[in-house]
Amino acid sequence: MPESRPSPITPLSVALDRGATRYFHGRKRILGSFSRYLERAEQIKSGGTTFLIQGAPGVGKTALLDEIALGALRNEWDVVHINLDDLYNPVHMAQTIGKYYVTRKQTSTKVDVKFLSREYIKDVAGDSSVSQVLEKMRPKRGMVLVLDEAQRIGRFYATPNEISVLGTLDILHNGRLPHPVFLLAAGLRTTLRAFGSLKISRFAENCVVELGPLSKESERAVILDWLEDYGGVKEDPAAWIDTIAKETYGWPRHVQSYSRHAAEHLKANLGIMMPNGLEAVLELGRKGRKMYYKQRLNDFSGDEVICLTEAIKDVDSGRPFNEGLVVASLSEKYGHEEANKLFQKFLDKGVIESDGFLYSVPIPSMHDWMKSELDQVQERLRACY
């Protein structure tokens, strides 16, 4: 009888691992905080503020935004996904508010809401400011404006649109509209500073969220959902879950990537965990992880990445380091002024992040990978001489 072979696993696009997730667990405290703000605003029929989520790349910010938006939609709030230009362009804001909000959550249940007629959009679009457009809205209970990649808001500083954007942010942040409106924003760890550059710096209690890895319990729950609900596993998947969790570190992007590969394997093999299946899943997960880390560094030259990695190669992965350690290394090659700019670029792109005092590579496994790549580069260079 021929030996049973697992069906091949088709590598999945990295794009599938970004954004909303099919299975969501954890973040209950954050979801509860936002829900309570909505309840209070609905009771007094006014108010609102900025609810800001910031964190490293791949930590699940967009998925959390989508989950919060779903909760608001279920409570009959109007939810709109806005763009940066909506903050200063009243015509764009009116058109955006008139569109459906379609959750990116990949399930059979989608909640679509549209609450403005075409005629009313034309009416409000002629107003002279975004603030006036927002004042004329007629939400059923209240409105949530969702802004992703919000760290880019700092680009408006010292530009012709700064005053207009500041005016919009000010009325949203301080709840100065005749109906409840919340700005739900998410971005990299530089987002709070970006808002501060536009004089939005004092946030209500629990309205700034520093997003970190999933708890072990939530991580395992997500993996289990993938294996059971999507993969249809027919055996006890505990061993697979344990092994996958050792490679994902609670990092939502990695959890989803590895779990999806595992579920695809199970689905292709009628729910059976084939003997070589787990190793194939891990290999694909590692390839995807490596591709993701390379993409995070696309905006930097090889020499720039080597300089950064040489500076932090003796720092344990996930552990903090001070700015001077990196800037000193960069300065030797690029000079002090350029080194400071480069350090800021690493920060802006999310390659490193700050906790307010010290810095770190936010994804420990990425720090490991950078050090491993440096060793390989140095070995290749030695072989050339």
Give pLDDT tens digits for 349-372.
Answer: 999 998 889 999 998 899 999 999
Q: pLDDT tier at 6 (50, 70, 90 boundaries)?
A: very low
Q: Which of 111-120, 208-217, 223-232, 321-330 has the lowest mean pLDDT?
A: 111-120
Domain interval for residue 186? 28-211
The structure tokens listed for 325 are 């350690």
Pair 323, 340: CB distance under 8 Å: no
Q: Report angle CA 147, 54, 62 to the nearest 5 degrees.
A: 50
| 281 found inside a domain | yes
Residue 114 has pLDDT above 60, yes or no: no
| 11 found inside a domain | no
Average pLDDT over residues 87-93: 93
The residue among 253, 262, 260, 244 whose CA lies nearest residue 214 is 253
Let me know whether 289 and 235 are in one domain.
Answer: yes
Q: Which helix (H) or strand (E) holds 359?
A: strand 359-360
**DSSP state string for 97-130:** HTSPEE----SS---EE----HHHHHHHHTSSSH
The structure tokens listed for 3 are 């030996």
Q: pLDDT tier at 375 (50, 70, 90 boundaries)?
A: very high
Let me know whether 125 and 73 are in one domain.
Answer: yes
Instruction: Give the pLDDT of residue 1.
Output: 37
Let me know whether 313 and 282 are in one domain.
Answer: no
Let me know whether 58 and 188 are in one domain.
Answer: yes
Let me know whether 320 and 357 are in one domain.
Answer: yes
Let me know whether 368 and 318 are in one domain.
Answer: yes
Q: pLDDT tier at 99 (50, 70, 90 boundaries)?
A: confident
- Cα–Cα dist 65/16, whole Å: 17
* End position of a domain, from candidates 263, 296, 329: 296
Let me know whether 36 and 171 are in one domain.
Answer: yes
Residue 178 has pLDDT above 90, yes or no: yes
Burial of 152 (0-12, 13-18, 19+ CB in 10 A): middle
Residue 54 has pLDDT above 60, yes or no: yes
Q: Which of 125-129, 180-184, 230-234, 379-383 has the lowest mean pLDDT?
A: 125-129
The structure tokens listed for 198 are 């536009």
Strand-pairing partners, residue 344, are: none
Domain count, the chain: 3
The residue among 162, 238, 147, 230 whose CA lies nearest residue 199 is 162
Average pLDDT over residues 7-23: 51
| 219 found inside a domain | no
Average pLDDT of the chain to the nearest whole number: 89
| 110 found inside a domain | yes
The structure tokens listed for 265 are 């394997």
Strand-pairing partners, residue 147, are: 185
Q: pLDDT tier at 40 (50, 70, 90 boundaries)?
A: very high
Which tops the pLDDT comparison, 21 or 308?
Answer: 308
How many Cβ atoms are within 10 Å of 344's Cβ, its own excluded?
11
Instruction: Give the pLDDT of residue 95.
Output: 87
| 10 found inside a domain | no
| Residue type, position 346, single letter | F
Pair 25, 160: CB distance under 8 Å: no
Pair 36, 49: CB distance under 8 Å: no
Let me know whether 117 and 243 are in one domain.
Answer: no
Let me know whether 99 and 197 are in one domain.
Answer: yes
Residue 339 has pLDDT above 70, yes or no: yes
**What pTM was computed for the model?**
0.86
| 328 found inside a domain | yes
- CATH number, domain of 346, equals 1.10.10
Residue 256 has pLDDT above 70, yes or no: yes
* End position of a domain, from candidates 148, 182, 211: 211
Instruction: Calculate what percentage of the chain has a pLDDT beyond 90.
Output: 75
Let me know whether 336 and 242 are in one domain.
Answer: no
- Cα–Cα dist 245/118, whole Å: 49
- Cα–Cα dist 238/317, whole Å: 27
- Cα–Cα dist 55/331, whole Å: 28
* End position of a domain, from candidates 239, 267, 296: 296
Let me know whether 232 and 289 are in one domain.
Answer: yes
